Structure 1
Amino acid sequence: MSRLLLGVTGVLIAAGVGLQVWASGPRGQGRQYALQLPSVLLYSLASALFLYSTFPDSVSEGRAMGFGLGGAAGFAGFFMLVSYSWLSKTRPHDETASALKAAAKENARLRKRLDSALAAQDAPVPPARSTRYEVPLKDSRRHHLGMITGNLANVLGVDVWVNPENTQMDMSRITEPTISATIRYHGGTRDAGGHLVKDRIALELAGKMAGQTHVAAGQVLSTGSGELLGSHQVKRIVHVAAVEGEPASGFRQVMDLERCVRNLLGEVDRLNEAGEGLRSVVLPLLGTGGGNSDLRRTAEGLAAAVAGYFQAHPASRIRTVYLLAYTDVQAEVCRSVITLLPELMDPPEA
């Protein structure tokens, strides 16, 4: 074999190896199948050149796609056919890798938007306008997970409001900036000056406690909606023990948020079985009001728990659960979580 042919063979092999190594790196992720094909071609040409230059009397014949192949071409064709057959099995892996790469890119984009929102302001603020949207589950399009932005007091037409309460089921004073206080005030009977004269929801909740001082974390109690039925079209309030208090330490989020979601949605379905038509639920970000919790972890846990409940209860009469995002930062987090939740269909454009 001449040095020229040996050199050409070496160049072809080196080029094939180099291309294959490059295709196996991060830049080739998601398209390795396509990039491996030129490598196979280079290997087959190098092999055929080496074989028939070293052993010129070798014979190789065959047919492919209606054409007869012989000699070096036959050998190269056979080599490529076998290699392509093997490489074709890697196509699903490329498609999976491509999908993961796209999801990682979208995740990075959303996190960048969130970081920008956090850096652009000193403190979270309520969004300029209230919006709502919902996304169906892939396996059960009758069930939706969505988001409502803004103050709960401005939410109209949702059947059930969830009240993240403490394990004492002791509602906040009406002057406090909490979900509990909002429900207590707007659900009570007020005089012409707006002063609370009958604490309807708090009194009913106290009656439900029946002398108990505590309930277990994650336990739920349901009450009527008081004046909220007429003013906001709310049919039921579901109180869930989502925070626990400690002396001189304030309140902290309970550990098992999934149990909270499972219990409260189970209570709504129980009421539906009793004849109530409760189709929509607004769910605040449980336990995040005092700042003693991880906002993103909470939103991810609640969203996954809602999707898991619907998957486990495909006959649930609840149609939509909305996460309540009071501030612009919460809205950005919730939108990111809903966008990336694999159980949901592709969400609407922002």
Structure 2
Amino acid sequence: MTSGATVPDPAGLHTLQDLAEAFTRLRRRAARKGQVQLSVRDIAARVQRPASTLDPYLRGVRLCPADAYEDILRVLGVRPDQLRPWLDAWERIAEDAATRSAAAASPARSTVLPYNETFEYRISGAATGIGLVTGDIRRVTWVDVWVNSENTEMRMSRYEENSISAIIRFEGALRDTAGHVIRDDIANELERAVAGRRPVPAGTTVVTGPGVLAARNGVRYVVHVAAVRGEPGEGYRPVADLGRCVTNALVAAEELSGVASILFPLLGAGVAGGAAAATARTMVGAALDHVTGRRHSRLTMIYLLASTAEERDACLRVMTAIPRLSPGDG
């Protein structure tokens, strides 16, 4: 077992994504010599269940039964006297999954806020700030880099789909007076960049130009990050390590000239169904780690985009709860 590693706090687990991240930390802690993390096959052998059955549990695709959950925790080094809060976490996550299933079955859809607001926070000890932009991304005209939450195939959404990828693709395309696309600039550049290399690893970033977004919205670059994974018949789900997606996108932006600000959608919280609050916690944490770990940063502001009132409220709760953040002048 890796020395110095700590057990994640189960009190902070509320969603399948949270649990998947906790499993990853436990697997790294329980890794044998030469392993990054304890393999699914190792876990399967010890709990006497097929690896194919355990894999979706460990990746947060679906919640494992309670008995399998306890067996997995024991294999990953959680002691019997530590199990109670983990079992409480399982009950919370089961309730969250049931709530989300009911919401998905409902015909009601969250409405994009009809106005833009900007909330900015100073980071203690850093020149870079972090902020929140609400409403429709198409009205954002002051951010240098837009991040596109893309799938691991790096194929942008069709124009008519309800996603940030579709909006960026359509708004960045050259269109005729009737609104028909005559040059699909961003999607074509992305296609050239990844041709022959699909699927890309989760967290991969590809930088393209902004197409028409340069003139219309002042965007200088689009950073595409592989933050969701699709499966036939299952749809899309967020990748396990969204924090790494944020870090990689920020590193890519730091290497671009003339860039001072970047805008992230809530990665995987759209069609992939990730929970807004958990996603915001992960993304803000990764952004803070990035700023703290760099002596100098070209970025003066890192923004998250909250399209709906629910996303706005979730992000503001996360940001106001962090002691290192204090309200700025935004």
TM-score by length of 2: 0.66
Match of 1:300 in 2: 281
Q: Deviations over 1:261-282 (max 9, x none)?
A: 11000001112xxxx1110111
Task: Report the counterpart of residue 344 of structure 1 in structure 2.
Answer: 325
Q: Give the deviation of 1:184 after TM superposition.
A: 0.4
Tell me which moved more, 284-293 or 246-255: 284-293
Aligned residues: 224
Q: Could you say what secondary structure the match of 2:283 adopts?
A: helix
Identity across aligned pairs (percent)? 38
Other structure's SS at 2:325 match: coil
Q: Does 1:256 align with 2:241?
A: yes
Q: Which amino acid aligns with 1:134?
A: E
For 2:267, the aligned partner's letter is L
Equivalent residue, structure 2, for 1:315 = 296
The CA deviation at 1:346 is 4.2
**Equivalent residue number for residue 110 of structure 1:** none
Q: Is 1:127 equivalent to 2:108 in the alignment?
A: no
User: Do residues 143 (structure 1) and 124 (structure 2) align?
Assistant: no
1:127 is displaced (CA, Å) by 2.2
Structure 1 length normalisation: TM-score?
A: 0.62
Q: Which has the larger radius of gyration?
A: 1
Seen in structure 2, the aligned counterparts of structure 1 residues 126 and 307 have a Cα distance that, compared at 3 Å, is: same
Q: Secondary structure at the match of 1:127?
A: coil
How far residue 212 of structure 1 moved from its aligned partner, in angstroms, is 1.6
Q: Distance in 1 between matches of 2:250 and 2:149?
A: 13
In structure 2, the partner of 1:223 is 208
Gaps of 5+ in 1: 1-117
Aligned position for 2:171? 186
| CA contact 1:165–1:243 (8 Å) conserved in 2 | yes
* Contact 2:264–2:304, Cα closer than 8 Å, also in 1: yes
Match of 2:260 in 1: 279
Residue 129 of structure 1 aligns to a residue whose secondary structure is coil
Aligned to 1:52: none
- How much is the aligned-residue C-alpha RMSD, in angstroms? 1.6
After superposition, give the CA deviation of every residue in 1:267-322 in whole Å (9 maximum; x if it has no partner). 01112xxxx11101110000011253222110111011111100001301111011
Shift of 1:210: 3.2
Q: Deviations over 1:34-78 (max 9, x none)?
A: xxxxxxxxxxxxxxxxxxxxxxxxxxxxxxxxxxxxxxxxxxxxx
For residues 294 and 324 of structure 1, the distance between their equivalents in structure 2, rounded to whole angstroms, comes to: 14
1:129 partner amino acid: Y
Q: Would you say the 8 A contact 2:172–2:210 is kept in 1?
A: yes
Per the TM alignment, residue 123 of structure 1 is displaced from its structure 2 partner at its CA by 4.6
The alpha-carbon distance between structure 1 residues 327 and 320, as it changes in their structure 2 partners (threshold 3 A), is same
Which one of 143, 159, 168 corresponds to residue 144 of structure 2?
159
The letter for the 1-side match of 2:138 is A
1:327 is aligned with what amino acid? T
* Matched residue SS, 1:345: strand
* Preserved contact between residue 339 and residue 347 of structure 1 (Cα < 8 Å): no
Between the aligned partners of 2:156 and 2:179, the Cα distance in structure 1 is 19
Q: Which residue of 1 is the match for residue 15 of structure 2? A: none
- Given the alignment of the two structures, is residue 330 of structure 1 paired with residue 311 of structure 2, yes or no? yes
Matched, 1:290 2:271: yes
Residue 211 of structure 1: CA displacement?
A: 1.7
Alignment CA distance shift 1:123-1:348 (3 Å)? farther
- Quote the offset at 1:348 in angstroms: 6.7
Structure richer in helix, relative to its length: 1
Post-superposition Cα deviations, 1:209-254, rounded to whole Å, max 9, x if no partner, equal 1322210000100000011000100000000000001110001000
Q: Structure 1: how far apart are the matches of 2:327 and 2:163?
A: 33
Q: For residue 341 of structure 1, report the CA deviation from its aligned partner.
A: 1.6
Q: Secondary structure at the match of 1:212?
A: coil
Inter-partner Cα distance in structure 2 for 1:187 and 1:123: 26
Q: Secondary structure at the match of 2:326?
A: coil
What amino acid is aligned across from residue 269 of structure 2 in structure 1? T
Deviation at 1:131, TM superposition (A): 0.5
Alpha-carbon distance in structure 2 between the residues aligned to 1:123 and 1:244: 23
